[in-house]
Each structure stands twice: as C-alpha cells, then as structure tokens.
Amino acid sequence: EVMTDSLSELIGSLIMAMSGLEPSALNYLQVRAAGNDPNGLGVDGSYDRLERLRLQMAQTGPIAGALTKCLEMMRFMSLDSQKEVIPHIDSALRCGAGFATRAAAADAVSTLCNTCPSAFKFTGSSSTNSTVRLLRALYFASERERGSAARDKMTHALGSLAELAPGSSVRVLAVRACEKYSASMGSNDDPAARKAAAGCLRSIAVRSSSQFSEGGSSDIWCRRVLPIAFLGQKDEDSKVASLWKDVWEEGGAAANISGRENKSFGVLLQERLLPYLVSECIDALNDVSWSRRVAACAALIDLTNMDVLAPAPRPLQSNGTDMEKDKDFLLRSRRRAHASNLLLSTCVKLIVKSRVWTGKAELVKASVNIAGKWAALGYLDDGSNWALLGWDQKEGKESTCSWVPIMNKVGNWNDLISGDNWFEARDKK
C-alpha cells in the first residue's frame, strides 16, 4: 500500500536508469567494432556479440533486479495503478538514450502482457490510447535498432502487445510494415529495414494470430499482408525469407477465409487468395526494382508448379454438360483462367521490351510455364471445353470467351511471330 502511488513512476525511472551505470567506453567500442561493414554489424558479427555482452551486464545489475521486483509487484496492484505504468514505459522507450533502456522497456511490456493483461485495455484506438502509442513506439524503435538482440526483444514485445491492442491499430501498423518492406528494395535496398518489417509481421502472426481472423472492411490480412508474405518468401536474404514464410504459414492458417468458397476442402490457400496474389505479382512485375520482379517471377513459377495457374481439375464422373451446370466449378475455373490471362499479358509486355535487366530470364521461364498449362485448350475452337475456362455461353453476351490465356488461331504455322516465316526459313538452312 505504501508504494501504490509511486510504483509506476519508480518502474519508469528504473527503466531509464538501465543505461546510466554503463561505461560510455563500451558504446564507443561497439560502434568501432562495426568497422566499414555496410550493414553496420561488423565483418565477423562482433557488433552483435558486444551487444549481447552489454545486455547481459545490464540485466544482472542491481537496477535490473529492482526493476524485476517492481514488475512482480504490479499484479497485486489495483487496475488503475497498473494502467498508470503504461505511459511511463512508453516515455522511457521514446526518450531512453541507451539501447539497454529500450531493451528493458520491451522486457517490461512482455512481462506485463503476461501478468497484467487488463492494464492495456484503454478506450479508443487513436493516438490518445496509451496501448496504441506504446505499440507504435515499439515498432519505430525496432526499425531504428541496429543490434539484433535488442531488436528481437522489441518485436517479441510488439507481438505480445498486439494481442491486447485494438484491431484497427494493429492493421494500420501491418500496412505500414508492408509499405516499408516494398520501399526498401531496389535502389533503396535496406536489408535491415526489410528484416524489421518482416519481423514485426511475423511476431504478430505467431504471438497474436487472432488478429488475422478480422481484417476490417478492407480485409487487410488477405488483400495486403498475406500476398506480400507469399512474395517475401522469395527474398534474396534467406533470413528475411524465413520470416515471411512464418507469416504465410501462421497467418494463413489463422485468417478468416474458410467461408470464401462453398467447396473449400482440398483447395490450397494460394488458390483462395489468387486474385490478391495476382494483383501483388503484377505490381511487383511493373516495379522499377529488379529484385521485386525476380521475386514475382519465382512466385509465379511456384503457383504454376502447384497447378494453381492451370485449368481446374475436372470433377470425377462428369461430362461437359455437368461441368457447365456446376456453378462452383465454373467460378473456380474462371478465377484461374482470368488470373493466368492477366499474368501472361503482363509478362509478355515486359518480355517484348528491348531493355535487358538482371533476372529477365526468370520472366521468360515463368511465362513459358504458365502458357504450357493452357496451351492444349487453345486448339479447342468448337467450344466443347469452355467450362474449363469458367465461361457460361448462356450467360455471356459475347460469342467467345474474352479471358482465354492462350489461343492458337494463326494463319501460318511457319511463323514464330506473325508474318516472319521463321520456321520455314530455319528448315531451308
């Protein structure tokens, strides 16, 4: 009872003091250890090793012991007293000069999320909400943090806090992380920023997966986050790709997509999200960043190998008439054919451009793979297999399907490109 009025301020002061007793020479030594490495981490990981050593020294000191005792006492305090400590932690995280202070603030958040979850329940979802402010502060701090140990503590705390934060604020943060990742490629290549963005979303997917069940009116998780996660698995940095893989697997399993199709059993997640994956791939292909284009091509090859960008499998024991009556089959076939048509059109437009860029061979490979899946249907001009394209002749106003991926209507089979007689000239040679 004696400490009820001052415990929240005491916790904030102890967090701020975590870096106060550390000799300044250690910080100088760690900065010098980074040397001329462009990532600022040292050629042999010396920066991270010194950071872990400094954290161990700070966490075994008397201030850390006192802070741990105070945090353990918080569970016995009233709810109002518990809520008072949140702004103090937020202030310490924003104003702390040393990374030991920021790491201690992150550890305090993780501890309170487990022991006093009700302390983070504030009204509103704007910047006046202390939980929302703390959530944003953790994300911004993780973006700026150079060392991996302190950054991991912040992303861990962010994931735990996201479970208790308003859904709208978590979705806004997720969109910002996606934008930051996309902007940190190409000429603005920043591996640390990409890793921070992927780590943030991975922490949300793993530690607060319930957030993925509600995407809001814009369906942020399915329309934005999961498509970027699918392409992110092809990132040139293996560590970043591994983070995005966890986002795709954990977030995809938790996303509320079970009701998108009547017959969803056996349908891959990639096919359920196909319209959004196609949109993200087209954006990446049209990007000025070559690395994003290559990642999109690798993603398209994966979709083709999974037979997602291919004619839908025919229902067992059915003929053409039965397929035309099966509305679910028509919808599934139309989605696949329309997606393949859009992607092939985009790929061909990039191929015919004379400019050569690193990875253009992957673009040709992706185009050939998609075209190969649909080439056989191009010979069927009698309309017997329109159902495989998802086109219902009775409902359509046009006489032919407008989204056929591949059509083999040529006047001269000796042409590679219309009018060039390429095959005939080659035979004469």
Cβ(273)–Cβ(338) under 8 Å? no
Residue finishing a domain among 103, 134, 165: 134
Mean pLDDT within 259-288: 82
pLDDT grade, residue 111 (50/70/90)?
very high
- 380-413 b/e (C-beta count within 10 Å ≥ 16 → b): eeeeebbbbbbbeeeeeeeeebeebbbeeeeeee
Q: How confident is the model at residue 417 (pLDDT cuts 50, 70, 90)?
A: low
Q: Could you tell me which residue, 106 or 41, shows the higher pLDDT?
A: 106
Give domain status of residue 268, yes or no.
Answer: no
Comparison of pLDDT for 367 and 35, the residue scoring more: 367
Is there a domain that residue 327 lies in?
A: yes
**Residue-wise pLDDT tens digits, 121-174:** 988 767 788 999 999 999 999 988 877 888 999 999 999 999 999 999 999 999
For residue 9, the model assigns a pLDDT of 92
pLDDT of residue 262: 43
Distance of alpha carbon 311 from alpha carbon 281, whole angstroms: 20
Half-sphere exposure of 396 (CA within 13 A, CB side): 16
* C-beta atoms surrounding 259 within 10 Å: 7
Dihedral sign for Cα atoms in the order 201, 206, 208, 214: positive
The band of 323, judged by pLDDT with boundaries at 50, 70 and 90, is: low
pLDDT score recorded for residue 294: 94
Has residue 257 been placed in a domain? Answer: no
List all residues 6 or more positions away from 31 whose beta carbon is below 8 Å from its beta carbon: none
Average pLDDT estimate for 313-342 = 74
φ, ψ of residue 9 to 5 degrees: the values are -65, -35
Number of domains present in the structure of the chain: 2
Q: Take residue 273 and report the two structure tokens written for it.
A: 């999200």
For tokens 């990007």, name the residue.
287
C-alpha closest to that of 89 among 5, 207, 8, 4: 8
Q: What b/e sequence results for 85-111 when a residue is b if at least 16 CB atoms lie within 10 Å of its CB, and e otherwise?
A: bbebbbbbbeebebbbbbbbbbbbbbb
Q: Looking at the predicted structure, is the pLDDT value of residue 320 above 70?
A: no
Cα separation, 389 vs 334, in Å, equals 5
The pLDDT, as a whole number, for residue 258 is: 45
% of the chain surpassing 70 pLDDT: 79
Bigger pLDDT: 111 vs 378: 111
pLDDT at residue 1 is higher than 70: no
- Closest by alpha carbon to 153, among 55, 240, 54, 63? 55
Q: Would residue 113 count as lying in a domain?
A: yes
CB neighbours of 5 closer than 8 A, spacing ≥ 6? none
User: pLDDT category, 425, cuts 50, 70, 90?
Assistant: low
pLDDT greater than 90 at residue 3:
no
Write out pLDDT tens, residues 332-354: 888 998 999 999 999 989 998 88
Rounded Cα distance between 162 and 164, Å, is 5
Read off the tokens for 160.
């735990």
What pLDDT score was predicted for residue 421? 73
Closest of 404, 418, 428 to residue 336, by C-alpha: 404
Q: What is the pLDDT confidence band of residue 424, given thresholds at 50, 70 and 90?
A: confident
Q: Within a domain: residue 297?
A: yes
Please state, for a pLDDT cut of 90, what percent of the chain lies above it. Answer: 46
Give pLDDT, residue 55. 84
Between the alpha carbon of residue 187 and those of residues 182, 214, 291, the distances in Å are 12, 35, 10
What's the domain range around 428? 280-429
Query: Is the predicted pLDDT of residue 177 greater than 80, yes or no?
Result: yes
C-beta separation of 104 from 58 below 8 A: yes
- Which has more pLDDT, 427 or 344? 344
pLDDT band at 301 (very low <50, low <70, confident <90, very high): very high
Q: Which of 101, 116, 134 is the last residue of a domain?
A: 134
Measured at the CA of 178, the angle between CA 172 and CA 184, to 5 degrees, comes to 135
- Asked whether residue 224 is domain-assigned, the answer is no
Report, as an integer, the average pLDDT of 194-199.
93
| pLDDT per position as a tens digit, 369-416 | 998 888 877 555 555 566 677 666 665 555 566 677 776 665 666 666
pLDDT tens, 47-102? 778 888 888 888 888 999 999 999 999 998 989 989 999 999 999 999 887 888 99
Model confidence at 27: pLDDT above 90: no
Q: Quick one: pLDDT at residue 283?
A: 94
Burial of 244 (0-12, 13-18, 19+ CB in 10 A): buried
Is 191 a member of any domain?
no
- pLDDT, residue 118, reads 93
- The pLDDT of residue 322: 54
Segment among 22-36, 287-301, 389-403 with least mean pLDDT: 389-403
Average pLDDT value over all residues in the chain: 83
The pLDDT assigned to 259 comes to 46
342 found inside a domain? yes
Domain end residue (candidates: 134, 161, 180): 134
Provide the pLDDT confidence category of residue 38 given band limits of 50, 70 and 90. very low
Q: Quote the pLDDT of residue 162.
A: 94
Distance CA 50, CA 59 (A): 14
